[in-house]
Amino acid sequence: MALIKKKAEDAVLPEVLPTHVGFIMDGNGRWAKKRGLPRSLGHVEGAKNFKKIVDYCKNIGIKYISFYVFSTENWKRPKEEIDGILKLLREYLVDVQAHLGDGVRAVFLGDKSAYPEDIQKAMVKLEKDTAHHTKMTLLLACNYGGRDEIAHSARLIAEKVQSGELKPEDITEKTIADYLYTAGMPDVDLVIRPSGELRLSNYLIWQCAYAEYYFTNVLWPDFSTEELNKALIDYASRGRRFGGV
């Protein structure tokens, strides 16, 4: 495997990078607990790290990055914690354009309707304002669940069948993919999950069918660009066969 110097901090990286890297940002709560801090402060640190990792991915030239921000199951958490996460999302939506700079298209994955109206409006505006950018696509999974997404796709397809626009026998894998929140985006190549948990937790389950996985015990607020380099080097050494030989 050839390693070359990419411009970001002179990182030594593989020549071939994954097209789509998915991040499951886990371990914020444990990061705070270890320091005797409230969980909400773990989310504050996690959000800071999210910005750092987005900047780095843009710098080294990754085309698609997705982040698990909030799952359909995370509503089970205490109200105080959910309110803290909503506050962070609101704050981010205010300065997001300044953070992303030129060239980044932002897309939300998930059901926006669960969010307060001001947040929904800011999400739609961001998607609209950045729709023409082509350097990198940032996918933000908010109120996202993989099963929920597939059920949503099935409902949309059922409507098309009901209206006569589509025949049941014409429904293929591509039809289902075309009605997912990620319609038109490439599947995930590499999933990175920090915090030591070895599971997907309902993240992009359709799009990860042939993804490679990288797990680390580091907690998300501590997940550094060096750690990301390690994941990218590890990814480059994998033999992906997609069922072939």
In terms of Cβ atoms closer than 10 Å to its own Cβ (0-12, 13-18, 19+), residue 127 is middle
The backbone torsions φ and ψ at residue 117, rounded to the nearest 5 degrees and listed phi first, read -55, -40
Distance CA 107, CA 54 (A): 14
CA atoms of 126 and 148, how far apart (whole Å): 23
Q: How many CB atoms lie within 10 A of CB 20?
A: 23
175 touching ligand IPE, by CB under 6 A: no
Q: Which of residues 180-239 bind ligand IPE (CB under 6 A)?
A: 195, 197, 199, 201
How many residues sit in the footprint of ligand IPE (CB under 6 A)?
17
Q: What's the min distance (Å) between Cβ of 195 and ligand IPE?
A: 6
Q: Binding ligand IPE by CB under 6 A: which of 11, 21, 24, 231?
A: 24
Residue 56 tokens read as: 């780095």
C-alpha dihedral sign at 121, 122, 126, 129: positive
- Choices 4-12, 28-36, 58-66, 95-103 (CB under 6 A): range interacting with ligand IPE: 28-36
- Smallest gap from Cβ 26 to Mg ion, in A, equals 4
Answer with the entry of ligand IPE, Mg ion, none that 71 interacts with (C-beta below 5 to 8 A by kind): ligand IPE
Minimum distance of ligand IPE from residue 140's CB (angstroms): 11
Q: What is the dihedral of CA 130, 132, 137, 138, to 10 degrees?
A: 10
Residue from 11, 21, 25, 122 touching ligand IPE (CB under 6 A): that is 25
Please, what is the minimum distance in Å from the beta carbon of residue 8 to ligand IPE? Answer: 25
CB-nearer residue toward Mg ion: 26 or 189: 26
The window from 20-28, 137-145, 146-154, 204-212 that contacts Mg ion (CB under 5 A) reads 20-28
C-alpha dihedral sign at 82, 83, 84, 90: positive
Between CA 206 and CA 208 the distance in angstroms is 6
Q: Could you tell me which of 186, 187, 195, 188 has the C-alpha nearest to residue 227?
A: 195
Select 26 or 45, whichever has its Cβ closest to Mg ion: 26
First to last CA, the chain: 20
Is 74 a binding residue for ligand IPE by CB under 6 A? The answer is yes
201 binding partner (options ligand IPE, Mg ion, none; Cβ < 5 to 8 Å by kind): ligand IPE
96 binds ligand IPE (CB under 6 A): no
Which residues does the annotation mark as catalytic? Answer: 26, 74
- Residue 189 within binding range of Mg ion, rule CB under 5 A: no
Subset of residues 22 to 81 that bind Mg ion, contact rule: CB under 5 A: 26
Q: Could you tell me whether strands 104-109 and 20-24 are parallel, antiparallel, or unpaired per DSSP bridges?
A: unpaired
Q: Is residue 210 within 8 Å of 240, Cβ to Cβ?
A: yes
Q: Does 40 bind ligand IPE (CB under 6 A)?
A: no
Query: Is residue 27 a contact point for ligand IPE (CB under 6 A)?
Result: yes
